[in-house]
Amino acid sequence: MPKPFAITLKPGTSLTNLTGTWRTARPVYLDRLPPCNNACPAGENIQGWLFHAESGDYEQAWRVLVENNPLPAVMGRVCYHPCEGACNRGQLDSSVGINSVERFLGDEAIKRGWKFAAPAVSTGKKVLVVGAGPSGLSAAYHLARLGHKVEIQEAGPLAGGMMRFGIPKYRLPREVLDAEVQRILDLGVTLKFDTKVANIEQSMQDGGFDAAFLAVGAHIGKRTYIPAGDATKIVDAVSVLRSMEGEDKPMLGRRVVVYGGGNTAIDVARTAKRLGATEAIIVYRRTRDKMPAHDFEVEEALQEGVMVKWLSTIKQAGEGNITIEKMALDEKGYPQPTGEFETLEADSVVLALGQDVDLSLLEGVSGLEIKDGTVQVAPNMMTGHPGIFAGGDMVPSERTVTVAVGHGKKAARNIDAWLRGATQEVPAKHELAEFDKLNTWYYSDADKTVRPMLDIIRRQTSFDEVQGGLNESNALFEARRCLSCGNCFECDNCYGVCPDNAVIKLGPGKRFEFKYDYCKGCGLCVAECPCGAIKMVAEDI
């Protein structure tokens, strides 16, 4: 008679798991992180709102979007959409026009008067936000929705920060910006203009604030020494763009030279053309491929007649002209002077060499660390002084509207946790839904919808918006190009291809589950899942 034998099971394992040698792995459903979501500096749930947009439920799509970003109509115009660079569809035909659909949703919300839901509770806590730019507005929005009383103190006469004073109207119409700012204020946020904070600790004490978020933008243009005659007009780019918001437009003359290679340099040169300059020339010391400005903006500027002197630097400004020196790349690719000079006629020279932040409001505040003109913050966005947080241009980071909006959200959630005596818990990220996890056989080619552009003549002579938006038909088409990377959308493929009837449908919106008593572990469901929402895991017995 054979001897009896005993089986020792691991905790949580049942006898139904014992499938024998014929199944070494089993399929499991999972949610992977879409690459678009992963790449968004504002932390938007892009795939989540695209899901509603592709069904035509635009209001619900907008509401999912604004859970993370309160400025979709703005962002749909000025964001440089790193999400689209990460989009898996770009490896199939062309990336989903995420930014286009975001703008459509933002514009729909303005047109239809959609409002944010009022805060459900009031915490009794009061938070000061310094600066009404993208980071400050984002923080105020999220703090208000969390039930805190928020007051924004803005040194200038209008809201928007560098969105208003650094981005020209042809890229961001002011009525769009104003509408999205007003929606935030409608939550009960107080906004005080012409209120410059000179000492943050004193302002907090005077107003009875429990915490503060510093979101002062980089409004101070950097300068460089250029030998110049008395008659030479040299101004900084920030001042030029800021003066465009007033009644008296800047007098730059007919021949304008812009010194620099960033997006601000492009904006100033394009603005000069619209102000009537016959020549707008950018002088940049490196080549186009090294230019920090985004290539599509460079291309638009060239289309509008802006000229660029590559590998050049300004050596001297005279009366009505400038002297530039031509550069040459050395063996390491760095520009070096050649001793070869050229004279350009110029009525004005605009310096677009970057911006600095005014940190005078922090003088005398204990515990702060300031390095290279920025405030150092902990991972929770708090400075070295308890209760004072900072974000946007004030901290080390890429200076874009999207990054600033993300900082405001992150800071608000950490301020809320700090006020409650808690720590903000950040859930671990899911594994990334990479292209090789998808089965793209199920998708037909459908190239991205191209947004309409204003004709060249009107672009050169007016500040009308250059890039148009999608209509409802195009937006719906574009949303439906989303591959739903890493997340089940109930296509029924796994249910249809399983040879063992091991896939159980749980009903609309509830997805599926596996009946492992029937499953042989063949992996056919994994191979046929269009979005990579199933994987095989080794049996553990």
- The model's confidence at residue 424, banded by pLDDT at 50, 70 and 90, is confident
| Distance (Å, whole) CA 287 – CA 512 | 54
Residue type, 231: A
Look at residue 467 in the predicted model and tell me its pLDDT.
Answer: 94
| Distance (Å, whole) CA 270 – CA 300 | 9
Alpha-carbon dihedral sign for residues 409, 415, 417, 422? positive
314 membership: H or E segment, kind and range: strand 312-317
Chain centroid to Cα 214, Å, comes to 19
Q: Which of 27-31, 316-320, 498-502 shows the lowest per-residue confidence on average (mean pLDDT)?
A: 316-320
Query: What percent of the chain is modeled with pLDDT above 70?
Result: 95
Q: Strands 126-130 and 211-214, how do they pair?
A: parallel
* Per-residue CA distances from 522 to 22, 193, 363, 500 (Å): 10, 66, 67, 10
Chain centroid to Cα 390, Å, comes to 18
For the segment 209-220, the average pLDDT, to the nearest whole number, is: 93
Asked if pLDDT for residue 527 goes beyond 80, the answer is yes
Average pLDDT, the chain: 91
Residue type, 403: V
- The model's confidence at residue 536, banded by pLDDT at 50, 70 and 90, is very high
Look at residue 437 in the predicted model and tell me its pLDDT.
Answer: 93
Which domains does the chain carry? 15-31+488-538 (3.30.70.20), 35-114+438-479 (1.10.1060.10), 126-219+357-419 (3.50.50.60), 222-353 (3.50.50.60)
Look at residue 229 in the predicted model and tell me its pLDDT.
Answer: 67
For the segment 242-254, the average pLDDT, to the nearest whole number, is: 88
Look at residue 4 in the predicted model and tell me its pLDDT.
Answer: 44
Token digits for 541? 């017995």
- Block residue for tokens 């440089």: 80
Look at residue 231 in the predicted model and tell me its pLDDT.
Answer: 58
Residue type, 467: Q
| pLDDT tens by residue, 325-380 | 999 999 988 999 999 999 999 999 999 988 889 898 998 899 999 998 899 999 99
Q: Nearest 5°: phi and psi at 281? A: -120, 125
How many residues in total does the chain contain? 541
Three-state DSSP at 283 gives strand
pTM value is 0.91
Alpha helices in 66-173 (DSSP H): 72-78, 82-86, 98-112, 134-145, 162-165
- The model's confidence at residue 318, banded by pLDDT at 50, 70 and 90, is confident
What's the distance, Cα to Cα, between the start and end of the chain in Å? 27
| Distance (Å, whole) CA 250 – CA 252 | 6
Three-state DSSP at 241 gives helix
